[in-house]
Amino acid sequence: MPHRVGRVLFFHGVVFLWGYASSLLSPVLPSVLETFGLSFGAGGMLFAASSAGFMAGSLAGGAATARADRRRILVAAAAGLLASFALAWRSPVYPLLLVAVAGAGSAGGVLTTTVTALTGEIHPDRRAASLNLLNVFFGLGGIVGPLVASAVLVAVGGWRPVFGLSVVPVALALAVAVALRPIELQAALEGPTRAPGYGDLLRRQGMRPFLMGALLEGATVWGMVHWFVTYLTVERGLEILAAGRTLSGFWLGLLAGRLVMSRLLLRFRPGSVLVWASAGAAAVALGLTFEWPPMALMVLGVALGVLLAGAFPTLMGLAMDEGPQLAGPIAGALTVASGLGGLVSPEVIGLVADGFGLAWGMRLIPVCLALLAGVAAAVARRQPAVAGPALHPE
């Protein structure tokens, strides 16, 4: 039991670390654009590289989780993240920085997919609630990342030390991963059986709404995370510290929202909660694209985070409820779908910004959220009145 508790704590620490790491790109983007003389569209390639790496890592992690010792997977991924941050720190040219960011994204995809699948296996009777709680730590990392990056940018005046400083927590995570005991395959615990794969998942037509929902969620979150600071500084005239605090407010909303969702999902139908939250998020995201005082922007950012918080972990938990033996492939496939949204959305926003202004590019976010509400409605129609044995009967 102590070893299991230690693993669970480590899983939450890994998700915190990736929340921190993935939130660094938005605060450093203005400095990167200035250093290399890039347009918005060219700067969007930084996010595309991160998302492409994340998708590749998620696919690899989802497949490996069903077949290999999970401790070795976590060690390899942490080592890859450490090497990528070190390369970003020392990158003298933009193409090399793109390679480093893609490597970090790949390592992050393996890490998050592996710990997500393991969390789903540990808590089979309350997956949606447990995965929302797990993602609270992603939100915590997202709060810390912009604050640290903005402070370093102001103190040092460049983006490279942000990555240099971040080598330290990644090295600590690698040391802990090395110290873990081997983590048994679920198949080995249940008896001899063929390891499930992506083919088994794709043959299930009922998984398609979950994949589409994850795609739209990724487009929304990463479009917001990657462009929000630049939007606030360029279009709304905020100082970098104020813009960084506002992005941290969005992450704070994600954190608070996942804490709330982890409780709500024990009492209400997850699909219905997701419908109303997505619709409300669409309205708030649209409001963010208009003129507001700085404090109002902070409040709207927090509100958007709260409403959007439970989308991905709830979709993941519901999908695992429909195919519990496919936990690894489901974690990989939905994470890849989210990564695909995160790959396309920031680049499209950058291209629209080049042609029509960044405010119009940011209006793609409420469009994606409105579509997500429609997908959530389709998922909700398939859910029973009581979502699982951990819920209170009506």
Average per-residue pLDDT for the chain? 81
Q: What is the pLDDT, as a whole number, of residue 79?
A: 93
Hey, is 119 helix, strand or coil? helix
Q: What is the pLDDT, as a whole number, of residue 251?
A: 76
Residue identified by tokens 């694209």 is 289
Closest listed residue to residue 288, CA positions, set 217, 342, 355, 235:
235
Q: What is the pLDDT, as a whole number, of residue 344?
A: 85
- The tens digit of pLDDT for each residue in 102-136 reads 999 999 989 988 888 887 777 666 666 677 778 77
Q: What is the average per-residue pLDDT within 134-159? A: 84
Q: Distance (Å, rounded) from C-alpha 163 to C-alpha 172?
A: 15
* Res. 75: pLDDT tops 60: yes
Q: What is the pLDDT, as a whole number, of residue 274?
A: 85
b/e sequence 8-22, b meaning 16+ C-beta within 10 Å: bebbbbbbbbbbbbb
* Range of lowest pLDDT (173-182, 318-327, 362-371): 318-327
Q: What is the average per-residue pLDDT within 210-219? A: 90
| Main-chain dihedrals φ then ψ at residue 180, nearest 5 degrees | -65, 150
Q: What is the average per-residue pLDDT within 170-191? A: 68
Q: What is the average per-residue pLDDT within 83-98? A: 93
Q: What is the pLDDT, as a whole number, of residue 100?
A: 95
* Res. 192: pLDDT tops 50: no
Q: What single-letter DSSP state applies at residue 206?
A: G
Structural contact between residues 307 and 301, judged by C-beta atoms closer than 8 angstroms:
no
- The tens digit of pLDDT for each residue in 335-380 reads 788 878 877 888 888 888 888 888 888 889 999 999 999 988 888 8
Helix or strand run (H / E) with residue 309: none
Q: Is the pTM of this model over 0.85?
A: no
Structural contact between residues 141 and 18, judged by C-beta atoms closer than 8 angstroms:
yes
Q: What is the pLDDT, as a whole number, of residue 87?
A: 94
Closest listed residue to residue 129, CA positions, set 320, 304, 331:
320
Q: What is the pLDDT, as a whole number, of residue 295?
A: 86
When comparing pLDDT for 178 and 132, which is higher? 178
First vs last Cα of the chain: how many Å apart? 34
Closest listed residue to residue 363, CA positions, set 254, 267, 219:
219
- Please count the other Cβ atoms lying within 10 Å of the Cβ belonging to residue 99: 17
- Please count the other Cβ atoms lying within 10 Å of the Cβ belonging to residue 67: 13
How big, in percent rounded to 5, are the helix, strand and coil portions of the chain?
A: 80, 0, 20
Closest listed residue to residue 165, CA positions, set 179, 188, 184, 145:
145
| Domain residue ranges of the chain, discontinuous segments joined by + | 2-181+206-380
* Range of lowest pLDDT (71-75, 87-91, 146-150, 325-329): 325-329
Q: What is the average per-residue pLDDT within 36-50? A: 84
Q: What is the average per-residue pLDDT within 204-209? A: 75
CATH (residue range 2-181+206-380): 1.20.1250.20
Q: What is the pLDDT, as a whole number, of residue 383?
A: 63
Q: What is the pLDDT, as a whole number, of residue 223?
A: 86
Strand ranges inside 193-273, DSSP E: none
When comparing pLDDT for 391 and 172, which is higher? 172
When comparing pLDDT for 385 and 197, which is higher? 197
- Please count the other Cβ atoms lying within 10 Å of the Cβ belonging to residue 55: 24
b/e sequence 163-189, b meaning 16+ C-beta within 10 Å: bbbbbebbeebbebbeebeebebbbee
Q: How far is CA 386 from CA 85, 123, 253, 267, 394, in A?
A: 45, 18, 27, 8, 7
Structural contact between residues 242 and 294, judged by C-beta atoms closer than 8 angstroms:
yes
User: What would the two tokens of residue 207 be?
Assistant: 């998984």
Residue identified by tokens 């519901």 is 318
Q: What is the average per-residue pLDDT within 200-215? A: 79
Hey, is 184 helix, strand or coil? coil
- The tens digit of pLDDT for each residue in 237-265 reads 888 778 878 887 887 887 788 778 777 77
* Res. 9: pLDDT tops 80: yes
